[in-house]
Chain A
Amino acid sequence: MSTREQLSDFLAGIERRAYKHAMFAVRDEHVALDIVQDAMLKLAERYGDKPAEEYPMLFHRILQNTILDHFRRQKVRSFWLSLFSSYTPQHSEEEFDPLDVLEDKGNPSQPAQPDAALSQAQILAVIEKGLSHLPARQREAFLLRYWEQLDTAEAAAAMGCSEGSVKTHCSRATHTLAAMLKEKGIDLS
């Protein structure tokens, strides 16, 4: 049975990464903070007496379930919103202007091209954007393996799937991310 200090240390050590996990998934700071808080509460309330070694797997499972709950609620909300908004006039022609995305190669104020050398901050921004565009399960597997440093069995336990699934998700995530990064001039090896 773990003590209050052990739980406190665990949460202090994981809170920033948990926030980033949630941010990659929901892309909204306030929602991400709410999700992390919910996950922390659930861990403390329901599993606070578990051994400290079980916390990482339990917490990641809870975090991912809380993220899923958020999307489920959002889906229901958007269903009702779309139902009521179907009677309002649409102005889709105002939403997209081709001039906004037209590339002007002769203009020096344009963003750096892929072949230009990238700073670390730029690389990080590209990686974070790539991660947030990965399918949820692929991102989860990738982050658990390469960021949280869980082995395949631990990641499988945290995700509630087989080790084979973790390997598959991880491999697909790596390929997708490598392709995304390549477009920005970054080779992932």
Chain B
Amino acid sequence: MKTKINIRDIGPLLDRSTAQLDNGTLDKLRNARRTALQYQQTKQHVPVLAWLHEHGLIHTHTPGRHKSHHWGMAALLLVILFSGIIYWQQTYEHDHSEIDIAILTDDLPVDMYVD
């Protein structure tokens, strides 16, 4: 006697076979799933970098374990920004004090009156 099956019956048959997996295998699969979930990538937007990323100035692919790199880069950018501001302020003040001294000593160059 020939046994007949439809190709669409193969899926349910295979499903039935997965229900027969032994407990040891199921435990290992469960552990594998739990381990994988610990490494799930979740995007955390660092405000400074978000703008750069939106404008295509940086392209980053960050696995979950390297999120600290983002914060490090953000901190570095902030330090550079503050250093720039402080340097500009100091240079500006220095120029002003030189002009003040020149006015007091009557050494102001003629160029200063041109504008």
User: CB within 8 Å of B: which residues of A?
Assistant: 1, 4, 7-8, 11-12, 15-17, 19-20, 29, 33, 36-37, 40-41, 43-49, 115-118, 120, 123-124, 127-128, 146-147, 149, 174, 181, 185-189
Contact = CB atoms under 8 A, between A and B. Distances in A.
Contacts of A149: 11
A48 B5 contact: no
Interface of B: 1-8, 10-11, 13-19, 21, 25-26, 28-30, 32-33, 35-43, 63-65
A124 B41 contact: no
Contacts of B17: 20, 124, 128
B27 to A, nearest CB: 10
A49 B41 contact: yes
Contacts of A127: 10, 13-14
B17 to A, nearest CB: 5
Contacts of B16: 120, 124
Contacts of A128: 14, 17
B39 to A, nearest CB: 4
B39 A16 contact: no
18 contacts: A8-B37, A11-B37, A16-B26, A17-B15, A19-B18, A41-B32, A43-B36, A44-B36, A44-B39, A45-B41, A45-B63, A48-B42, A124-B16, A127-B13, A174-B7, A181-B5, A186-B5, A187-B5
B40 A48 contact: yes
Secondary structure at chain B's binding surface: helix, strand, loop or mixed?
Answer: helix
Contact of B11 (A1, A12, A147, A188): A147
B40 A45 contact: yes
Contact of B35 (A17, A41, A146, A174): A41
A20 B13 contact: no
Given A43-B36, A189-B7, A15 B29 contact: yes
Residue among A46, A116, A149 facing the most chain B CB atoms (10 A cut-off): A46
A6 to B, nearest CB: 10
A86 B41 CA distance: 47
A41 B14 CA distance: 25
B13 A123 contact: yes
Contacts of A4: 37, 40, 42
